[in-house]
Structure 1
Amino acid sequence: MKKTVRISFEGKSYDVEVEVLDSNVAVAAAPAPAAAPAPVAAPAPAAAPAVAGGTEVKSPLAGSVFKLKVKVGDKVEANQEVAIIEALKMENPVVAPCAGTVNSVSVKETDTVVDGQTLLTIA
């Protein structure tokens, strides 16, 4: 099902068409004509792989680590923003796929990452 939502960014409003994949996740389909694209939160992975030592949080795209919002030992909730990846001058939030405690952080701010690279683990 497609819906149109209004997003405000830096004092400007944009109408964005989104496709609802299920009741909890939406992904931007296309911006309204003549509107600049607005940042859209990356959806949490449907099922993050559980590995020895925790659940991996992976980069959803190639770019550079603009900001790490957690450190080892921090408690996080499911869908909490844990990092921001910058790509093509856009800030792309990375969210925790589950609740838990940050077990390890594999990158630092300014590191270049590839799509699917493990950023941190949550136990």
Structure 2
Amino acid sequence: MNETIDNNDTQLAVMAEGLFLANLLLLPGVCFAWLTYLYFKHRTTASALARSHLEQTFVASIIGGILLVIANLAILWLGGYQSANTWMVLILYFTTVHSTLVLLGIVGLAKAMAGAEFRYPIIGRFSFN
């Protein structure tokens, strides 16, 4: 790594990962809006470290939202929210997709706190650049 890591860059990376986790676990929507603001504000000016974490969390949040919509569509397709299939889809979604995103967020947070870049597996290949 040729670039010196500034404390502000590490803080921005940690904040991005923290907002990603908070979006999944505490305040969905509010934290995504804050993460979106940070992404668009710092996507061109931040260091490679902060930019990497901002981009990863922003893209992962969008993909997570898309997967949540797909889960809701599957519930509706399988009989609606009154059907027994609702629980099957919800349990599958939370034990696979949601928990995987939380685990990736925890690893990303640990990497950000260590000042290291991190690329999420599979979804980390997607980018808006």
TM over 0.5: no
More RCO (CA 8 Å, sep 6+): 2
> Which structure is larger by alpha-carbon Rg, 1 or 2?
2
Q: TM-score, normalised by structure 2?
A: 0.24
Q: TM-score, normalised by structure 1?
A: 0.25
Between structures 1 and 2, the one with greater strand share: 1
